[in-house]
Each structure stands twice: as C-alpha cells, then as structure tokens.
Chains A and B, each alone.
Chain A
Amino acid sequence: MSILGIGILTWITFLPILGMVVVLMLPKEQKETMKWVAAGATFLQLVIAAIIFLNFDKGMAGINSADGMQFVERASWIDVQGLSWFGRVHIEYFMGVDGLSVTMVLLTALISFVAVFASWNIEKALKGYMAMFLLLDTGMMGVFVALDFFLFYVFWEVMLLPMYFLIGVWGGPRREYAAIKFFLYTLLGSVLMLLAIIALYFSVTILDPATGEKMHTFNMLAMMDPANLEPDSLLAGVSTYWRYLAYIALFIGFAIKVPMFPFHTWLPDAHVEAPTAISVILAGVLLKMGTYGMLRINYAMFPDIANDTAWYLAIFAFINIVYGALCAMAQKDFKKLIAYSSVSHMGVVLLGMAALNTQGMMGAVFQMFNHGTITAMLFLIVGVIYDRAHTRDLDAFGGLAITMPKYTGIMTVAFFAALGLPGLSGFISEAFSFLGAFQTFRTITIASTLGIVLTAAYMLWTLQRVFLGQPNEKWKDMPDINFREAFMLVPLAIIVIFLGVYPSVILDLMTSSLNRLVEVVNTGAAMAIVP
C-alpha cells in the first residue's frame, strides 16, 4: 500500500521528520504555527495508523516469515561490494508490520499525538523542542517497523539523542543529572546490542537472490532462521556459550529500556525531571521498545536460550512487580510514584512473556498497549496539577474531588484501570499475563499476583491523599481541567473503558503472530540443529 508512490510505512515513520523540517524553517516567533505543524504531522500519522489498522490482515502471522509481513517496503539501502575481508556489506531499507508490531505502531501514533497537546505550554525554545519531539517520534516509529537489524539500530539511536536533550534542556531542576543518567544507561545497552548485532551479522549468511553468492545480512527474518547460521560461526549450535553471551548482551540492552530490575533507577529520575509530554512518551512508548525488542529479537532469534532462561526472566518479572509496587508505596512525589508503578506494571509484561504460551504472550503484548494508554493518562493527570500548583508533593493536596470534579472523574478511570479493575483494559492484560504464567511457573506467579494487592494499596492511598478529604485551603480556587486537557484525557479514558469491554479489537490483531512466536520459541530450539 502506498500514498503518492511512497510506501505507507515510510509515510508513518518520516511524517514527523517532514514536520520537523517545516518547524525548523519557521521563524522563531511563530510559536502557534509550530505547535499546529507538530499537531498536524502527528495527526496525519494517526490517520495513517488508522488506515494500517483497518487494512491489517489478522490472519497473517509474520514474525519469521517475510510473506506474513504486511505493508512491506524493501529496497537496497547501503550496498558496498568487496570491502576486503569484511566482504560485501548489504543493508536493506526493510520495513513491515505483523501482529506484534501493529499494536505498537498504533500506540506510538496515538501517544505522540496526545503528547503534542501536552507540550502546548512549553515556553522555552519551542522551536528546538518541537523539532526534537518530532525527531523522537520518527525514531520510535522506526524501531517498530524496521525489519533490518541495522535499520532498527539506527532508529534506536535516533530516538536516544532527542530524548537526552528533551530531558536535559526542558526538564526540571535536576534535569542534567537525569539526562546523563538516562544517556549512560541507554548507551551501555546500545553498545551491548551493537556487539550482539555484529556477532549475528557474521554468523548468518544467505544467498544473494541476484547472484546466488553467499553473503552476510542484517535481515532480521533471516537471522531468525537457524538454517542460515554458518556451521562454524560464533553463534552456531544450540545453547552454546556464545549464544548465551549474545542473548544476554541483547537482553540487557532491552532490559534497560523496560526497565527491569536492577537497571531501572534511571526511570524515576528521568520521569521526575522530564516535562509532562516527555514523561508520557517515555512511559507510554519508550518502555515498550524494550519488551518489543525482547520478543522480536531475543525470542525469535534465540529460542533455545529463551527457553533455557525463561525461569530467570520470571524471577526478574516477580521482582519488578513486587519491588516496583513497594517502592511506589514509599514515594512522596506523585510523579515518582507513577514512575515506580510503571516498573511494577512492566513486570507484568515480563511475566507474561516468560510464560512462553499464547495466553501469557497475548497478555504481555496487550499489557504493553494498555500500560501505554493508562500510564499516559496517569502522567497527564500529574501534569494537570503540577501545571497549576507547581508541586507534586502528595501530602500538599487533598480534597481535589470537591474542587475539581471533572478531573477527579477522569482520574478515577485511570487509577482503577491501573490497579486492574475488571471492565477496564488493564485487567484483561494483567489477568492473561498471570493466567499464562500460572501454567508455567506456579509459585512465582502466585507470589507475583500479590502485586495486585500492593497496587490497590498504593493507588488508593494516593487517590485518598490527593483527591479525598477536606480540600486544602491553598488550592481551593484551582480551576478544573480545561478543554485541551480534557481533549487529551477523555479519548484515552474511552479507549481504556472500551478495551476493557471489547478487547478483541486489539487482541485479534495479534493472535496469529503471537501463536507463531510461541511456536517459534517452543519448537525453534529443536530446529536449530547444526546441519
């Protein structure tokens, strides 16, 4: 599918860049125009996401089959012949979506659009901000549609840079510390990932369809086929030392993004310092890149190791869930509390993944989507009162239910969705993650399910401290949410409720692909026998 002769995935990925170019060309004073350009670009992106959603074929599995990918765009990007011992370097511009990535594409488009409006009140250097914001959008979208590992890596790094500046320049008082911390953590992950990519590159060979000669490739789908592994290469074999090493390197790279304990401490700092819109993006989309990478790359390329280490992953998932919830309970800063709740909720994704069965995986991927919408709401909610009161101290408020009833209504949906109330979207994904994991790891799952009690405890405690009781005299004239804020929050609330009642809309998109992924992970180990 293409528009004006350009593939639809190219459009959805590079539309923000187009917007960025326009923003950069505008004179500095035209602040309103810049905002609307950004809004327009992300809106078009959302429209294209809707087109993708409507035209998506639910029966096609994707994952490791090129035929199963949809909206595929493929062209030779870099092709250097005979670079001495390095051989021929062939990098493709290879994009496509399947059931695993389509939900993330939808989420990215949605959250980016919402985040533009959350950026409306940025005063400082708006031009730079919007440019960085749109560049970030492209990076995120690219990660989810890239099927060439090199391309994937490029997008991965493209996203890192604007994020660093967005936190470091437009952040709160300790922004530089937070930005550097984020950068260092992520850079460590990137370096490890790069090493693993190189190892994979030199271990996998395919035949050039044109000439029939052997060549190395960055094609992710080729990397998933064990038959393409060179017999004597570094990563050949099953469950070998080097395969473990490469798996762990990739895994840490992604785990930092999730973030998985003990790589999570960048998250609270980054969130607290980042402006609202960036927190929304960070929690709503960025964290999912970690789990997405694990599923797309770790699971599909190293099914043997994924199988061997599932138990460890479940343990880490348990730590994330319970540890994150307990740390959230200890917070006095509203935003930090929500940040830690993300650690806990992303643990649910890890647990569902570790189950290695369809229920668990569907729970995990659906949780990625739901966490995106719910946490976006939560950060927007924090943003609303921070904008008005310039404090996030939980004990500084109270009784907002009386002064801001509309705001409280929306907040109730978000909070109860976050604590997994049935009828709202979060419940379904959590229940399925737990249900899937229960089949595989009984004790760990039971222990992890304790998280639902802890989550209820800290969520309701927060709700009580901020919204219930006697209104604080200091904020008794605080205005209720305005149109712009409602415009961001209400659609998200509707999505959260709708998907709680009728989740099939999203679940059906991923069924085929996740069944395939489960099959790959469970049988892949057996197939990967060296010829």
Chain B
Amino acid sequence: MFALFPYIVLFPLIGFAVLGLFGKKFKSEKLVGIIGSGTVGLSFLTAAAIFIHMLGLAPDQRKEIVELFTWISTFTGTSSSLSVSIAYQIDQLSILMVLVVTGVGFLIHVYSIGYMHGDPGFWKFFAYLNLFIFMMLNLVMGSNFLLMFLGWEGVGLCSYLLIGFWHERKFETGGYKPGTATTSDAAKKAFIVNRIGDFGFLIGMFLIFTKFGSLDFDTVFNRAAVLSVGGGVMFWITLLLFVGATGKSAQIPLFVWLPDAMAGPTPVSALIHAATMVTAGVYMVARCSVLFALSPETLQIVAIIGALTAIFAATMGLVQNDIKKVLAYSTVSQLGYMFMAMGVAAFTAGIFHLVTHAFFKALLFLGSGAVIHAMHEEQDIQKMGGLKAYMPTTYKTFLVGAIAIAGIFPFAGFFSKDEILWKAFSSDYGSVFLWLAGVLGAALTAFYMFRLVSLTFEGKERFDHKHVHPHEAPKTMTVPLMVLGALSVVGGFIGIPESLFVGNAIEHWLEPVFAKANDKLSIGYHSPSAMEYILMILSLGIAVGAIYAARTMYMKRTEIAEGLKSRFAGLHKLLWNKYYVDEAYDVSVVTPTVKLSESLLWKGVDVSIIDRLVNGSAKLINFLAGYVRRIQTGVAQMYAVVFVGGILVVIAWIVFR
C-alpha cells in the first residue's frame, strides 16, 4: 500500500504538464476542469486509501520513506559528504497534511470550474493550481530539508503566479499608495517578503547541516534526540527556521504580504492563502518539533509572536470593508493561534487547528467568492447587505463557517481553539497572559466575523439594483461549499478533549510524531481539569457576547458603530491604515535600498570613481604619449645622434664602472 504514495505527488505533476503544454489547445473548459481537478481527486483517493491502510497498522509501523533517486550528492570521502535524495515520507503528520491539501484542494478545483468560467486563462489557471498542489505535496511529504525547501519555494512561485493572475488589473491596497497599485505589485511583494523568510530558512538549514552533518529529517532528528536541552546553536537553528515560518505563514513582522495577496482570484485565496500554503510554517515547526523542544527560548518567542499576531491582525480585521481583506486578516490571526500552540509545545493542538481552519476558512473564502461573483466583482461590504434572500445556500454555509471560526460549540473551531487556549493556560510553557491574549483574539474574531455576516447578508440592501443582480452560484460552486460546511460542523470531532469523556483521536494519532519532542519537554499540566470546564464556558460566553454585540451594532443599531467610529476617529484611522506598517517598511527599507543602489553605488562608485579612474588612466597615457611621440621625429640624422650617444654611454659605463 505504501508503495503507492509517490503517485500522490505524481498525479498533479501530470496534470500540470498536460495542461501547461497542451491546455491552450483544449477547446472545452470541461476537459481542462476534469483534468485539473481529476488529478487532484486521484491524489486524494490514493491518500485516503493509504490512510485507511495506516489505521489498521500498529502506531510504530505507520511511517514509510520511499526514495526515488539521488538528487544532489557531493561525495568527499569524509564526514562532510552530503547526499540529498528525492525521497518522500509518509507518517501520521504527513498523511494528515496530504489529506487536507488534496481534499480541500480538490473541492477548490471543482469550485474553480464554476468561478473561472469564461476566463481566457482558464487552462493556465488550472495548470498553476496543479503545480501548486504538486509543490505543496513536496513540502509536506519531502523527507529532507532540501526537498521541503523545494516545495516551500515552489508554492511561493505558484502563489506569485496566481496572485498576479490578472496582472493587468488595478488593485486597491487599502490606503497605501491609493489607486496606483496593480495585482502584479501584490504578487511581487508576496514573493519578496517570503524571500526574506526563506533567507532565514536557508541559513537555518546551513546551520543544521553544520551541526548534524545531514539534511535528512530522520538523521537530524535522531541525532537531535540525544542532545540535551539548551545551547546557542539550537537557539539559532530554531529561530532561523521560525523566521522562515513567519514569512510563509504571515506572522509579525513579515505578515504584510498576505492582505495584499487577496488580489488573486478568490479560489486562490481559499486554497493558497488560507487553507494550505500559509500553514506551511506551522507544519514546519511541527515537523521540527524536536529541534524546537531543544530550545525553550525559541518556543517562548514563537508563542509570543503567535499571540501578538493573533490580536494585532484581529484588530485590523475589525474595520476593513473589503470582504476578502477581513478574511485575510482573520487568516493571519488564526495562524497566530497555531503558532501560539506550537510555542506552548501543544503541537497537536496547533495541527488540529490547522486542519479545522482549513475547512472553515476555505469555506468562508469560497463563500466570499460566490458573493463577489454575484455582485459583479464588488468586494466592498458597505455596498452589499441583505444578500441572504438571493443566495440562501451561500448564506447558510457562510454562516456555518462564521460560527465555526467564532468557536461556538460544537462546531469545528470550538474544539481546536479551545484546545489551544487550554494548553496556553495550563502548559508549563504557557501563561495566563497568553491565554488572555487568546481569549481577546477570540472575542475580536467573533465580532468581526459577525460584522461581516451582518453587513453582507443581512440588513438593508445597499447595492444598486440597476446594475447588480445578485444570484445564487452554480452547482460546481455550491456543492464544494456544502461539503466544506459539513466538515466545518463535524471536523472538530476528531479532537474532542479528554475532559469531555471521549478519547482525543488526533492526539493519539499524532503522538508518535511528537514523542521525541515531548520526551525533551516533559510537559506537566498544573491545573485541575475543573479549570478546563470553567475556561471553556468562559471563552464560549465571550464569543457569544461578541457575536451579539456585532449583530446589534451592524444590524439593529448601526448608529452605535457610527458613533464609535467618530469618537475613536484616530484609532479607526490607525486600524484602517493597518498601523502604517507598509509605510514604515517603505520608508525604512525599500526606499533607502533603491536610493542607495542608484545614487551611491551605481552612479557614485561605479560611474564616478572606478570609471573615472579607468578613463583617467587611459587619458593620462594618451597625454604622456603626446610627449613621447615627439622623440619619433622620423629624421634619420637625429636617430644617428641618439644612437651614437647611447653607444658612448654604454662604453663609458663598461670602462668606468
């Protein structure tokens, strides 16, 4: 059964190759859609079969590596030899990621058939999506750091291509450089900001090789497992890896690209910028859990960055009017939760939230796509309202997603978020402050989500009926919504906490993966479980309160919202402008770099100094030659005189020396 799993990777690659090379010649969108989504569907089926097979095996046999061929090798005959293979690994963590990537990926592919209908780049879109799935699978199935890095940058490439898919369109960045940006700016920004993170990842990888003499996961983690906790090198390795994660997973300080990435088509936002790619950083930390376990300082940093990002992004989400931007900030915020979980060494909880988040956030984005479609590319929620009458399926599924992300029992988000909050509170690596941050973030999340629901689907219709005729989306779009809706309801049941008298399935499933890390950490829980119920009810109450507040403010008594807006105008402006982070980066990094390169280095050093020296020396020689040339008069008598004179000097020297 295990021998099948390279095919999981192979199918999307075939899809990409076929569509990339011949897609343009395929006349029917149907064929392109079937190839594009079919290959991903096949991958999903294969993965599901393997997963079922794994369920029947003993926990220690649920891991397998298949080596295809040697990718790079530098054989030196000494310990510094390095050999990296194209080798795929399936274990409990990988298969979970594969199921999410191919499962959610398949649904989004199907959805895209409807969403991208009529687009001249239809085939190209599916080719890129297939390439993305291929790269993402490399990322989660690669059995060494370099192959993971291939996937890591590969998904970045696809992200770049897909954000800028409509590269000729204008794009509103929201306050910053109004009216001048295009989607290609957003794409470029995404890639470059990610490159900064990748720089950290790369250096981290070099350090790993220096320290462990290998880049294979197994070798590195086994060698790490015998080390004792602490040490500067482990701190730097993990910190640098985390820098990579902050890029890909849009955490402080590198989160700035993700809101702009919404410039891409909505299925892309759902697949890449919500459900899968942006969670790569979380996966990476989980995969390297044993390395992080060796450096408690880094774990602290991870937890704090995660918590800060969770709140920081949520506050920006409060005031956005672009339906996708709200969801984007929500994604950043939810990723913060996942990192908070990683930071308090609750690796399972983080992965659990990753899975449930993939369901409900994909659902929300696809729902927003249906809305945008129905509203003729309008994304401003202030120009919507009352849409539930026109698109009931979208409304219902969207509402399910919103309830799930708000963390209402028994929807998926409740269990995973609660698990994180509890671990943040009770773990040796957690603290009350982290818990408080988490609860505050949860309250904000519930609030802005229901602000979004209220403004979009309920209340008065604020759009222009003459030009806009909202309608329900076609079947290819609503069916994926319903499937994801169902998953958002029941998805949480895989991780019902022990305290609710059911075994925590995901915890048991992932236990062997994190065993090495947990050995190092020996986490104890210092609170009685009665506390768990209290906190659970508390956070649930806060979420319900926030939902109530949002519905009141944006449906019944809109004057409250307006009043708050004018009373806290300064704060509103700050949030609206996203704390001016983009502007700050522009002033402190981008502009100086461009200026430095042009005026100081190129025009300064190259042209003014080096070239002046070069041209100067040529001129000097020319100038001297002007004098020397005068010796060559062409007068033979003159030459004879000099000749005789020379002989005399030589004779004189020989005689008198």
Residues of A in contact with B (beta carbons under 8 Å apart): 180-181, 184-185, 262, 265-266, 268, 323, 326-327, 329-331, 357-359, 362, 399, 401-402, 416, 421-423, 427-428, 431-432, 434-435, 438-439, 445-446, 449-450, 452-454, 456-457, 460-461, 464, 468-471, 501-504, 507, 511, 515, 518
CB distance from B603 to the nearest CB of A (A): 8
Q: Mark B601-621, 1 if CB is under 8 A from A, else 0.
A: 111011000110010001000
CB distance from B251 to the nearest CB of A (A): 18
CB distance from A388 to the nearest CB of B (A): 20
Contact B74 A362 (CB under 8 A): yes
CB distance from B261 to the nearest CB of A (A): 14
Contact B168 A435 (CB under 8 A): no
Contact B601 A449 (CB under 8 A): no
Contacting residue for B150 out of A268, A423, A504, CB 8 A: A423
Contact B69 A438 (CB under 8 A): no
* Measured CA separation A458–B594 after assembly (Å): 10
Chain B residues with CB below 8 A from A265, complex form:
606, 610-611, 614
Q: Indicate the size class of the contact surface on chain B.
A: 35 or more
> What are 25 A-B contacts with C-beta separation under 8 Å?
A181-B614, A265-B611, A326-B593, A326-B596, A326-B597, A326-B601, A329-B594, A329-B598, A330-B594, A357-B76, A402-B168, A421-B153, A422-B146, A431-B202, A434-B206, A435-B206, A456-B195, A460-B160, A460-B188, A460-B191, A464-B185, A502-B71, A507-B73, A515-B76, A515-B77
Chain B residues with CB below 8 A from A515, complex form:
75-77
Interface residues of B in 69-115 (CB under 8 A from A): 69-77, 80, 82, 86
Chain B residues with CB below 8 A from A450, complex form:
199
Contact A468 B167 (CB under 8 A): yes
Known: A265-B606, A265-B611, A432-B72. A449 touches B150 (CB 8 A): no
Q: Mark B185-200, 1 if CB is under 8 A from A, else 0.
A: 1011001100110110
* Measured CA separation A469–B186 after assembly (Å): 12
Contact B210 A469 (CB under 8 A): no
Contact B209 A357 (CB under 8 A): no
* Measured CA separation A452–B196 after assembly (Å): 9
* Measured CA separation A515–B182 after assembly (Å): 50
Q: Mark B128-158, 1 if CB is under 8 A from A, else 0.
A: 0000000000000000001001101110010
Contact A358 B597 (CB under 8 A): no
Chain A residues with CB below 8 A from B157, complex form:
416, 421
* Measured CA separation A434–B160 after assembly (Å): 25
Nearest residue (CB) in A for B590 is A457
Known: A327-B601, A507-B74. A185 touches B614 (CB 8 A): yes
Contacting residue for A422 out of B153, B160, B192, CB 8 A: B153
Contacting residue for A470 out of B168, B605, B611, CB 8 A: B168
Q: Mark B56-76, 1 if CB is under 8 A from A, else 0.
A: 000000000000011111111
Contact B74 A432 (CB under 8 A): yes
Known: A464-B185, A507-B73. A423 touches B167 (CB 8 A): no
Nearest residue (CB) in A for B196 is A453
CB distance from A7 to the nearest CB of B (A): 31
Contact A511 B593 (CB under 8 A): no
CB distance from A145 to the nearest CB of B (A): 25
Residues of B in contact with A (beta carbons under 8 Å apart): 69-77, 80, 82, 86, 146, 149-150, 152-154, 157, 160, 164, 167-168, 182, 184-185, 187-188, 191-192, 195-196, 198-199, 202-203, 206-207, 209-210, 593-594, 596-598, 601-603, 605-606, 610-611, 614, 618
Q: Which 7 A/B pairs are nearest by Cβ-Cβ distance?
A: A326-B597, A330-B598, A468-B184, A422-B150, A468-B167, A438-B206, A358-B76
Nearest residue (CB) in A for B185 is A464
Contacting residue for A464 out of B184, B605, B610, CB 8 A: B184
Contacting residue for A434 out of B154, B198, B202, CB 8 A: B202
CB distance from A206 to the nearest CB of B (A): 30
CB distance from B367 to the nearest CB of A (A): 30
Extra contacts, 11 of them, besides A329-B593, A399-B168, A504-B73 (Cβ < 8 A), are A323-B601, A327-B606, A402-B168, A422-B153, A423-B153, A453-B195, A454-B593, A457-B195, A468-B167, A504-B72, A507-B73
* Measured CA separation A527–B293 after assembly (Å): 47
Chain A residues with CB below 8 A from B209, complex form:
435, 438
CB distance from B277 to the nearest CB of A (A): 15
Chain A residues with CB below 8 A from B74, complex form:
358-359, 362, 432, 507, 511
